[in-house]
Amino acid sequence: MKKINELFISFEGPEASGKSSQIILLKKYLIKKNIPYLITREPGGTKIAEKLRNIILNKKYNISFLQEILLLMASRSHHIDKIILPALKKGKVVISDRFADSTFVYQGFVNGFTIKKAQYLHKIILNNFLPSKTFLFDLSPEDIILRLKKRKNKNKYDKIEINFHKNVLLGYKKISKKNNRFIKIDASQKKQYIHEQIIKKLGI
* The pLDDT of residue 156: 65
Q: Count of CB atoms within 10 A of residue 55's CB? A: 15
| pLDDT values of the chain reduced to their tens digit, one per residue, 204 residues | 345 567 999 999 999 999 999 999 999 999 999 999 999 999 999 999 999 999 988 888 889 999 999 999 999 999 999 999 999 999 999 999 999 999 999 999 999 999 999 999 999 999 999 999 999 999 999 999 999 888 777 666 677 789 999 999 999 999 999 999 999 999 999 999 999 999 999 988
CATH of the domain at 122: 3.40.50.300
**What's the total number of domains in the chain?**
1
At 1 the pLDDT is: 36
pLDDT given for residue 48 in this prediction? 94
pLDDT at 33: 95
Going by C-alpha positions, the residue among 185, 71, 83 that lies closest to residue 129 is 83
- Per-residue confidence (pLDDT) for residue 3, from 0 to 100: 56
Cα radius of gyration rounded to whole Å, the chain: 16
Residue 5 contacts residue 128 (beta carbons within 8 Å):
no
28 CB neighbour count, 10 Å cutoff: 11
For residue 4, the model assigns a pLDDT of 57
Q: Write the DSSP string, 117-178.
A: HHHHHHHHHHTT---SEEEEEE--HHHHHHHHHT-SS--TT----HHHHHHHHHHHHHHHTT
The domain containing residue 100 runs over which residues? Answer: 4-202
What is the pTM assigned to this prediction?
0.91
Cis peptide before 43 (omega within 30 of 0): yes
